[in-house]
Amino acid sequence: MSGDWRRDRVGSALAGRNPTVLRRLDAGFAVIGDTQFLPGYSVLLTDEPGVQRLSDLPRARRMAFLSDMELLGEAVERACGALDPAFRRVNLEILGNTDQFLHAHVWPRYEWEPDHLAGRPVWLYPPGSWTDRRFALGPRHDPVRTEIDRRLGVLYAAHAAQGRAGG
């Protein structure tokens, strides 16, 4: 994967050059995380360049972004639960402390995590977890990537149909 798309994740997603994109949703892009020390880690990126905070969006777009976050969270939950019997739950976070664009983290959590980290925020994992090549997104993550995308497609279609039905 070329490194240049990482400098503008939103712009590269809009241009179709972000290789981590799973699919476009109503208010953003579902992407698989660059690091997979917790397999299935995904992110929802805004589809509006320059938006840094949820509060930068008009209320209807905020709700659409939060709805997309919920759909991605459920897709990760279902996919990871199907692929790993030690799956426990997902954690959803909108932080914005480092990257200057609106995004939401979807972290799967597992029973096999070390005891001193299992009940704590993911951000307490050692800093090397984000940069260790062993955890870099690659072809070995295709099964989890495919399963998340498949589940997301089903959920998104049901969500869209429900919206059309007025429910």
For residue range 33-64, what is the model confidence (pLDDT) as tens digits? 999 999 999 999 999 999 999 999 999 999 99
Q: Looking at residue 3, what is its pLDDT? A: 58
1: pLDDT confidence band, cut at 50, 70 and 90? very low
Confidence (pTM): 0.93
For residue range 131-148, what is the model confidence (pLDDT) as tens digits? 999 999 999 999 999 999
Domains present along the chain, CATH in parentheses: 4-164 (3.30.428.10)
For residue range 58-114, what is the model confidence (pLDDT) as tens digits? 999 999 999 999 999 999 999 999 999 999 999 999 998 888 899 999 999 999 999
Mean pLDDT for the stretch of residues 120-124: 94
103: left (phi over 0), alpha (psi -120 to 50) or beta: beta
Q: Given a cut of 60, is residue 163 above it in pLDDT?
A: yes
- Measured CA to CA, the distance from residue 167 to residue 16 in angstroms comes to 32
- Measured CA to CA, the distance from residue 64 to residue 57 in angstroms comes to 10
